Structure 1
Amino acid sequence: MSKMNRTKIYPALQLQAESETYRVTGGFKIVDRWFQVPLDYFNPAKGSIKIFARNAIPNKKDDDGTTGGKLPYFIYLQGTYAPNEYENLCLDNPIGGPGFGCGPPSSHPVTDFLFEKGYQVLYIDQRGTGMSTPITSFTLAKQGSVREQADYVKLFRADNIVRDCEAIRLSLLPEGEKWSVIGQSFGGFCAVTYLSLHPEGLKQVFTTGGMPPLVNNPDEVYRRMYLKVKSRNKVYYEKYPRDIKRVRDIMKYLENNEVFMPSEGMLTPERFLSLGLAFGGHGGIDSVHILVQNAASDLNQFGALTYKTLSSIESHQSFDTNPIYAIGHEMIYCQGESSRWSAQRVLEDSSKPSIFSWEDMKKAEDTEPVYFTGEMIYQWMFSDFAELHKMEEVAENLAEYEDWPKLYDEEVLAQNQVPVFAATYIEDMYVDYEFARETAGKINGAKEFMTNVMFHNALRSKTEGVLGELWKLKVGEVD
């Protein structure tokens, strides 16, 4: 495996930043910022992309009206952001990313917490997401052949996300000034890459459900995650036992009928079971139950699924609107090895009959539950999801690619001097607890807050609880 490339490549960059300033209710001044950065930092001739960042500054602290104030910066590195129709706001789904831009700072409780601590916050849409040159089937097709499209996607991993952040820091902050980072889920993975590549730019790092496994391929990650998904299914069916039959009835209907989604994709038994992706977050089990209950009610009354139910299901599945989450997911675990559809291979190698397979479970008694899957990407998704279907060959190319560069440097992490504070969730369905602890233990000086009463999306749903505990670690409060 090649060594991690930490070449200093930023001083010559001209980012050509542009901005737009306005104020919103709640005491916020917002500066929307766009930066032009290289697509490939080691080959600028490949062209440039735009990175969008939304700068949130408390009005009462703003004294110059143009530069965004003089408060120290916290940058927020996103995990996943998606609408949930059962809430009044757009909320973080619990899943881990990559592939999602940031939402409005006014709707994220992290903003108020950091304002109170004396910071301004920069919410960065990672490359390929939000308004940062997003990847879609349309924009990807502009890159040329399947091989050229796959080569393009390879440049949208954590290493280049970090290089974007560092380039922006050098452009935005006075010379020599560092900033702080908070990384949620995949954003935490990026933060650890930042510690590996450019610790000189960091004042302090916070991660929440975001300590990455230091692996070379995803196989062992999925072996562990299937066990956690299995345990969450047990919780689901113990809480809603009548859903055992409801889910089986829905499976039978989907097997015997072609059901088209509003986006023109297909709702198959496998796609319906992938709703279990939500099980790992606060409120996730309840939201899936509501979908199951609505679908079962439709079948009972009409013998078919209504448009509203199909639309609700689709709103919980973000692969079409954020396709990099699917085509780029397994590659976030790769260093010098291919993924080769890891989640699918691990499942196929498991004991039979598989509790996660309708094909295996349909012959069982109606009292036997069929288990939902979790945060896994499967080949069938590139047939069932309309937008993903257009990228099927690109996904196949990426799954076989082996020469992935390193994302983490364990030697650098062992010598780390940046204060690191990590929230680790014992019941995390997306980031294995043992892997997370192993990684934190390899980062010199890292301090952990561990809990078994919070889930992966606690940063939003229990902000004070999570950041409050991490702040105690930061200021040295001990009992």
Structure 2
Amino acid sequence: MRGLRSTAHRFRVPLDHAGRHSPTIEVFAREYSSLEHSDDDVAALPWLLFLQGGPGGRGVRATQLSGWMKAAAREFRILMLDQRGTGLSTPADAATLGSLPSAEAQAEYLTHFRADSIVADAELIRERLGIGRWTVFGQSYGGFCTLTYLSLAPQGIERALITGGLAPLSGRPDEVYRATFARVEERNAEYFALYPEDRELVTRIARHLDGVEEYLPGGDRLTARRFQMVGSFLGGNTRIHGLHYLLEDAFIRTAHGPRLSAAFLEQVHAVVSRASQPLYALLHESIYCQGFASSWSAQRVLGEYPQFREDAGQVLLTGEMVYPWYFEEDPALRPLRAVADILADKDDWGPLYDTDVLATNIVPVAAAVYRHDIYVDRDLSLTTAATVRNLEVWETDEFHHDGIADDGEAIFDRLLSMTRR
């Protein structure tokens, strides 16, 4: 491909790394390197493992070197991991989980798809590739996984880079969602200040959906509360403007009155469907759980923020929260409602972080903390940063959560240099 070479790697790993007779699953990874290096030179380069956001997000499919990958490929071989259950790794979705005998069996299977298992996969892969230590770069949930890596297997890491992904090391997800609702409300206000004409339009769309049945391309009905999910656009620097372009396509005139356009419904479907990422909905709240249940945290905390209700006078758009009704309205998730409830009630999740190990960490760590991040709260991130020894923070208001999509090259170079001071 243009400027790069890629190599596919497949690994058999235990479903349960702690189980002596565990069945195995496959984990896929793709290696990228720059054609500026000869084959012999590439063989001598150090490795960088990239951990994607999520949970449930597959690795980046690069067709050319750009952004942070362009910067990284100057001196690293990049291993792009399809975290277990995603991409070309053994899938975990309604079709494959349906082969298990019960919802309880499905829930037990999915307990092995959190950060601790992802880290165990990475360590096994590192050893099989004969790598001494590698640089780990985690974006968003990949940063959460990096903190788990630093807790459980720091001996495998040369340095760690984290962008928008300093997870709270303790506490319940309720605290996370209270911070998230507050940040998302601020971001709504910022958006409507940029595009005041969209203030009335958003509420008009929601009220239209209350009275008129509109259907997405997959045949499922679009409801007002599902429409609110387009607030995911608010988490980006330039994506926020993409929300305006989406909304301007909303209505068309017909002989039967205003209707939502096919172009608008197609674009909304791409945002609100979890068909390509079911693990996000199934495991999202569990990524904060250590020894307690989430009990549908976002749904409960929503009761403290009535301004986010779909029937509010002026409708607000939401962020990354996951609600139980997702498993009623999204066809890809309906078969998984029972297992989602079991996971929400699970109160014996194992630990994800070792604060004693992190407090004595010797691995150089550099983390970008985005001041107005609506997905990973700035204040909670700084609390975590203060707990991890040898971690240096770069706090900035120049970027939002998807900063590496905006200027990944500069962000990567800055963080890398911070670990070399």
Change (3 A) 1:298 1:32: farther
Distance in 2 between residues matched to 1:187 and 1:425, nearest whole Å = 15
Aligned-partner Cα distance in 2 for 1:144–1:278: 38
Q: How many Å apart are 1:283 and its aligned residue?
A: 1.9
Residue 13 of structure 2 is matched in structure 1 by: 37
Q: Is 1:78 matched up with 2:55?
A: no
Q: Does 1:110 align with 2:62?
A: no
1:253 to partner: Cα distance: 1.4
Which AA in structure 1 matches 2:114?
R
Find the counterpart in structure 1 of residue 400 from structure 2: 455
**Which residue, 359, 369, 373 being the options, matches 1:424?**
369
The residue aligned with 1:312 is: 267
Q: Is the 8 A contact 2:252 2:258 kept in 1?
A: no
Matched, 1:473 2:418: yes
1:256 aligned to which of 211, 216, 229: 211
Question: How far 1:258 moved relative to its partner?
Answer: 2.4
One-letter amino acid of the structure 2 residue matched with residue 235 of structure 1 = E
How is 1:102-181 mapped onto 2 (pairs within 5 angstroms)?
102-107=59-64, 109-116=67-74, 118-174=75-131, 177-181=132-136
2:308 is matched by which residue type in structure 1?
A: F
Matches within 5 A, 1:393-408: 393-408=338-353
**Aligned counterparts of 2:368 and 2:299: Cα–Cα separation in 1:** 29
Residue 444 of structure 1 aligns with which residue? 389
Counterpart position of 1:57? 33
Tell me if the contact between 1:221 and 1:432 (Cα under 8 Å) persists in the aligned partners.
yes
Distance 1:246 1:202, change over 3 A: same
One-letter code of the match for 1:178? R
Within the candidate set 312, 317, 320, 1:375 is matched to 320
Q: 1:435 aligns with which of 349, 374, 380?
A: 380
1:15 corresponds to: none
Q: Which runs of 5+ in 2 are unaligned?
A: none
Distance 1:299 1:162, change over 3 A: farther
Instruction: Quote the residue 1:293 is aligned against.
Output: 248
Is 1:184 paired with 2:158? no
Question: How many angstroms apart in 2 are the aligned matches of 1:163 and 1:475?
Answer: 27
Please give the alpha-carbon distance, in whole angstroms, between the structure 2 residues aligned to 1:301 and 1:231: 37
Kept in 2, the 8 Å contact 1:158–1:189? The answer is: yes
- Aligned residues of 2:252 and 2:261 also touching (Cα < 8 A): no
Partner deviation per Cα, 1:20-70 (whole Å, 9 max, x = no partner): xxxx221x12111010100011125331111010001223423359xx622
Q: Distance in 1 between matches of 2:34 and 2:71?
A: 11
Residues 413, 443 of structure 1: 8 Å contact kept: yes
Give the CA deviation at 1:339: 0.3
Q: For residues 277 and 246 of structure 1, what CA distance do their matches in structure 2 show? A: 17
Name the SS for the 2:208 alignment partner: helix
Deviation at 1:303, TM superposition (A): 2.1
Secondary structure at the counterpart of residue 46 of structure 1: coil
- Alignment counterpart, residue 337 of structure 1, candidates 292, 297, 300: 292
Q: How far apart in 1 are the matches of 2:415 and 2:330? A: 39
* Residue in structure 2 matched with residue 206 of structure 1 by the alignment: 161
Please tell me the root mean square deviation across aligned C-alpha atoms, in Å: 1.7
The structure-2 alpha-carbon separation of the partners of 1:110 and 1:258, relative to structure 1 and needing over 3 Å to count, comes to: same
1:414, distance to aligned residue in structure 2 (A):
0.6
Whether the 8 Å CA contact 1:246–1:296 is kept in 2: the answer is no
Is the CA contact 1:216–1:336 (under 8 Å) kept in the aligned structure 2? no
Gaps of 5+ in 1: 1-23, 80-96
Contact 2:6–2:32 (CA under 8 A) maintained in structure 1: yes
- Cα–Cα, structure 1 residues 300 and 395, in superposed 2: closer, same or farther, change >3 Å? farther
Q: CA deviation at 1:434?
A: 1.0
Amino acid at match of 1:272: F
- The answer to whether structure 1 residue 100 and structure 2 residue 45 are counterparts is no
Give yes or no for contact 2:251–2:261 (8 Å, CA) kept in 1: no
2:58 maps to amino acid: G
**TM superposition shift of 1:307:** 2.6
Q: What displacement does 1:301 show?
A: 9.4
CA shift at 1:297, angstroms?
A: 4.2
Choose from 358, 375, 379 the match for 2:310: 358
Query: Given the superposition, is the C-alpha separation of residues 318 and 186 from structure 1 closer, same or farther in structure 2, using an over 3 Å criterion?
Result: farther
- Deviation string 1:347-375 (CA, Å, 9 cap, x unpaired) is 1133xxx221132x2xx4xxxx3111111
Q: What secondary structure, in the 3-state scheme, does the structure 2 residue paired with 1:113 have?
A: helix
- Alignment partners' CA distance in 1, 2:219 and 2:343: 25
Work out whether residues 77 and 123 of structure 1, in 8 Å CA contact, stay in contact via their aligned partners in 2.
yes
Range moving further from structure 2, 421-430 or 455-464: 455-464
TM-score normalised to the size of structure 2?
0.96
User: Do residues 238 (structure 1) and 193 (structure 2) align?
Assistant: yes
Partners of 2:144 and 2:253 in 1: CA distance: 41
Residue 300 of structure 1 deviates from its aligned partner by: 10
Query: CA separation in 2, counterparts of 1:293 and 1:161?
Result: 41
The SS at the match of 2:332 is helix
Partners in 1 of 2:254 and 2:100 — Cα distance? 44
Tell me, yes or no, if the aligned pair for 2:70 and 2:409 is still in contact at 8 Å. no
Q: Name the CA distance, whole Å, in 2 between partners of 1:348 and 1:407.
A: 28
CA distance in 2, matches of 1:283, 1:275: 15
Q: Normalising by the residue count of structure 1, what TM-score does the alignment of the two structures yield?
A: 0.84
Alpha-carbon distance in structure 1 between the residues aligned to 2:342 and 2:93: 17
Mapped partners of 1:47, 1:432: distance in 2: 38
Name the residue aligned to 1:4.
Answer: none
State the one-letter code of the partner of 1:427. H
State the identity %: 37
Amino acid at match of 1:144: P
| Whole-Å separation in 1 of the counterparts to 2:278 and 2:24 | 21
